[in-house]
Amino acid sequence: MIPAMRIACLLFDRITALDIVGPYEVLHRLPGAEMSFVARSRGAVRTDEGLGLVADQALDEVGAAEILVVPGGLGTRALTEDRALLDWIRAVHATTQWTTSVCTGSLLLGAAGLLEGREATTHWMMLEGLRRYGARPVSRRVVWSDKIVTAAGVSAGIDMALELVARVAGPGLAQAIQLGIEYDPAPPFDAGSPAKAPPAVLEAVRARAGR
């Protein structure tokens, strides 16, 4: 019998949808995967641009998981002081095999006290924000620190999840999932990191974000 692989995905208002859907699309293909979407209360959360994602369980209904996925988004700003949520993250983390984040989700792991003294990453624009929580910011696509795995911004969750599948279930399954989701990326530009983007583009993005 395949043991259950409970995968708890945190949802909240002003989440970035791709932060959670990227890992979801990969991890639900793990043998024994049991996905749960968890928010403060049951019902739909909303991304900034209005897409609703449904939380089927409230925080107090999910006490343990083999894998925890904490996504990012503008909503994380309001949550770094949310004691009930941070308690929940700590409690579930105590039960996990792997605790993961995408984008600014790592700031929630940090606020929960899980990144003290660890290397971690987040969206390139927020890297320095990790220091507040005693973490050492690393500009890398995916950062492994014991059982804590943090990914860079938004789309990096897909790469993180594939690395995680390889670790949990072997490279063959990770490759099969990559082929299944036809993840043979071909972006029309090579502008996906601050080191690669044209300076004017980098400046425009920073200016719009007020950084």
Binding segment for a second copy (CB under 8 A), chosen from 80-88, 89-97, 107-115, 167-175, is 167-175
> How many residues sit close enough to a second copy to count as binding (CB under 8 A)?
65
User: Is 181 a binder of a second copy (CB under 8 A)?
Assistant: yes
- Whether 103 sits among the annotated catalytic residues: the reply is yes
Residue 178 lies near a second copy (rule: CB under 8 A): yes
Q: Rule CB under 8 A: say whether 197 interacts with a second copy.
A: yes
Nearest of 13, 43, 15, 197 to residue 101 by alpha carbon = 15
Task: Enumerate residues 32-71 that contact a second copy by CB under 8 A.
Answer: 33, 35, 37, 44, 48-54, 56
Output b/e per residue, 76-107; b: 16+ Cβ within 10 A: beebbebeebbebbeebbeebebbbbbbbbbb
78 binds a second copy (CB under 8 A): no
Residues numbered 101-140 forming contacts with a second copy, rule: CB under 8 A = 103, 123-124
3-state SS, one letter per residue, for 25-82? HHHCCCCCEEEEEEECCCEEEECCCCCEEEECEEHHHCCCCCEEEECCCCCHHHHCCC
Q: Compute the distance between CA of residue 106 and CA of residue 89 in angstroms, rounded to an integer.
A: 11
Cβ(91)–Cβ(61) under 8 Å?
A: no
Q: Is 96 in the site for a second copy (CB under 8 A)?
A: no
Tokens describing residue 99: 């605790």
Q: How far is the CB of 172 from a second copy (least distance, A)?
A: 6
CB of 114 to a second copy, least distance (A): 22
Alpha-carbon gap, residue 159 to 46, rounded angstroms: 24
Please report, as ranges, the residues that interact with a second copy according to CB under 8 A: 16-18, 21-22, 24-25, 28, 33, 35, 37, 44, 48-54, 56, 103, 123-124, 141-142, 152-156, 158-159, 162-163, 166, 171-172, 174-176, 178-189, 191-194, 196-198, 200-202, 204-205, 208
